[in-house]
Amino acid sequence: MRRTTAIRKSALRMINEAAIETFPKEFLAALKAEEGVIIELVVLPGTVQGDSHGIMNTNMLPIDYSVIGTIHSHPGHSNRPSDADLQFFSHFGGVHIITCLPFDETSWRAYNSNGERVELEVVD
């Protein structure tokens, strides 16, 4: 599996627009990458978006090795992973993004499956 090092600006914009659209509920989706760059979101059927949680049935993922992690929003001002986030990260994917208020180009952070922060370059 190729290491993910970047995210397209258009994917980041889509993430924050989806988070704004679902606010105050959490937005949750999978991330798809090509050649180490996150390019788009995969919204799974049956995903639950709650006020303080999101539930994704990973059994609904397509058999597609370009799906490399997840994105979800926090309805507050913290993009730090909760204990539940950390547990989920450890079971699925290699890159996880959390965005928070104000849902803009500076309000997101990426984490690996151990919950450690990783840097992703924003590219066109």
Residues catalogued as catalytic: 26
Q: Which two tokens stand for residue 25?
A: 């509920």
Return d(Cα 98, Cα 71) in angstroms, integer: 6
H-type helices in the chain, by residue range? Answer: 9-22, 83-89
Q: Are strands 6-8 and 121-123 parallel, antiparallel or unpaired?
A: parallel
Beta-carbon contacts of 106 under 8 Å, excluding residues fewer than 6 positions away, are: none
Q: Are strands 6-8 and 117-118 parallel, antiparallel or unpaired?
A: unpaired
